Structure 1
Amino acid sequence: MRRRRVVLGSVVSLLAGVLAGLSPAAAEPVAAEEFLWGVATSGYQSEGSPPDSNWHRYEQAGTSSIKDPYRDAVDFRHRYAEDISNAKALGVRVFRFGVEWARVEPREGVVDQTELAYYDDVVDRVLRAGMRPMITLDHWVYPGWVVDQGGWDSDETVEDWLTHARRVIERYRDKGVIWITVNEPTIYVQNEIGNGGLEAWQAPWMYSRLVTVHRRAYDLIHQLDPGALVSSNAAYLPGGIQAGLDVTFVDHVKDKLDFVGVDYYYGASLDNLSAVHGAGGEFWKIEPQPDGIYYVLRYYARKFPDLPLYVVENGMPTDNGQPRPDGYTRSDHLRDHVYWIQRAKADGIDVIGYNYWSITDNYEWGSYRPRFGLYTVDALTDPSLTRRPTDAVATYRSLIAAHGVPAGYLPVQPPAVCSLVDGLNSCLSPAPYPGPLTPLR
């Protein structure tokens, strides 16, 4: 995830302008009726035992995004069996995680076989649990030795990144993996700028290199793992600005996508400008806008009519796990968003999957205060790092078993007044409400 201050500050300004004027067998293409329910996590945010990396250095230096010490995150590195078991019990079909370059290749040209064996076991356990691995090759983290050679301002990083990608792809091909090359490229670049890993004027070169590695990785995956599904997930920011963000990455790789991966967290409308709280990192103060996910899906369905869509991330933060003052629960949030995905399906939008972010609370890029987990973990105060189920665990299990919300369900959070998720388009052409629902099968 998540939207860092530098991004949300820009969103606020831009919004103001808008308002003013399987199985271990090889993967086959996913049929529309084979809906993929999933959960997600990422390497640095959850693993603990951090190797030298750009983000470990940011945390150690206490850069502007750092509010809490990293410690050992939620120790997925040693507790992954429990998290995978919990995911299996939900009934999900996809388990998303990352294979961390910094962990596998801690020094240039030195491959840590112990860490590869760890990822081997993660993949094996996911498969034995009846789920498909969704492997992220780059979730904003790269080794310290890459930092020393200039990070994404160096052409060397492109070839080094692809060497790591090839290693991972060759190791896990023919296992039904869904591949995510680069997580949220636009936010990746903004984070690097915000944390001092990149100067703002260098951003175009980082974007160009991310486009290059995605395009080459896409071809490499289809060479080594024929039939696999490959994409990158775009962070959707509201206010009619997404088209401008897509120009930096998605538009340059549209011919190298097997599905459109989208992440949706926050909306905007005439009656909901609470996204301004994101500029200060107080994400739990943002009022959820579930109908926004419908407009995100519609936006990309119109932009890429020949590609299916997959919600790679969606979730709700709470303030240190405390109930929201308005009484809106994680279960409400989950049901309401699933409702609007079913509405999208009913309107002919080809949505093939949904991942909940995240299976557990984790290190939200500098802070443990925003809690997104289906299972909550008190990373700063509980030495045992106990996974405690939230209300949404039972809710997600029942939604999966029933293929979504039942006919007649109406969201707890009603549609926004003049949604601006897709600019004026979502205001002037709102989804009929209530409307028909299509089960997610």
Structure 2
Amino acid sequence: MFTKTPRGTTAAAPAHVPQPPQPALANDTIRVSISGFGINQGQVDAKQGYDKVNGEIIAAISCLEDIAPDASIRIVVAQASVATVLIKNLSKWEDLGWVGVRNKSALQVLAARLRTRTGVTTFVKAANTTDSSALKAARSLAQQSLRNAPTPPALVNLSIPEKLKVKGAKLTSLTQATAYKTIRERKVTPPRPATDRNVRAVQLALNTINAAPPTSGDIWKSSRHKDLSKRVRTFLWMGLHGAHRIGAYWKHIPGFEDREKCQGCGEVESMEHILFHCNQPGRREIWELAEKLWKKEHDTWPEPSLGSVFGCCATQLEPESRYKPSGKNRLYRILISESAYLIWKLRNERVISRGGTPHSVPEIHNRWVHTLNNRLDTDRFQACHYDVKRNPNVSPALVIKTWSGVLFEESSLPRNWLREPQVLVGISALRAASPHDPG
């Protein structure tokens, strides 16, 4: 949506040609303010399927269609993002065939519309009270239109004349990685039933924890979170795909049908059974320890489920951003992921290495304490050698926020305990078993 505001005289560099600031524009320049609006953008229930940035691009296209091509236009935006990406990236995107570009369909149309104009088109960031008021009115109109429209409006022509279409990629710019991405974009692969089922389980579980369920893209991105070790990331990735060789995997393999059932319970040995329902020692003790440690600092323990385990890194127990990460969220994803992975390791040892002999309760207890202490030591080491470029996720302040409140005899530690010897989690090991962890 856009609104026309009083004509102005301030100019800016055209979005389609990177030029230095121009002299003042003539008084007949048409001045337009545009804004986009998205409901629940970035979430599963995002209305109309596009976000604020896409809406702003569509508004710019609408302006160019409604105004004569030889007229001079000054388009005021809240952020210079649209103009900036067109100036800096347009040639590169076209050379690479627009592979991997977000909102590429709308950006391609905008670039084509700009090329058909003979008048000067400028994009400028709001710089005064008049611009801000006009942007507020445009945003209000966009919000009202989006809330009232039950289906996406087809008010803007998004077709591109054949002569202005840039097809394919330049061979001189093409790399093997770009070619692979292009093939993947064009090849439609149907989702695996197990994968789709697990992603929906994550969304259902986090719908009761987060303000809104995450998108499938957010879930897959979170499975590669740098707060997790490589082994835990692999465990979660395979779990989301249902790729572990357990349960129903063995049902139709001659000679191995007995592996479908849990040796101790006689039930189908699915990942959910292993983590939450198995009667063998291990999973119950570990979840009780995780809850006990969590409640040393936080009141409410979100009851774990298969969906919350696979989506632990997409969980938002409190608001956070890239520049203001949450220690509470970080402790939760470490605690949930490490506990679940340890349950999985103990199951494998019991079934493969120990011939079905279960671990003792003291050994399970000490293995968990040893795992969390190792993780705490890793955090402390990385925080003491903090490099904002190499390890942005382990700043000293964030590590202290993560573990404060759940440490052993924390009242006797200094405020900055990162370099102190013998800093341990707040649950002690038992003396009856060795905390040795074979990996």
TM-score by length of 1: 0.23
Rg comparison, structure with higher value: 2
* More strand per residue: 1
* TM-score, structure 2 normalization: 0.23
Q: Which has the higher contact order (CA 8 A, sep 6+)?
A: 1
> Which structure shows the higher helix fraction?
2
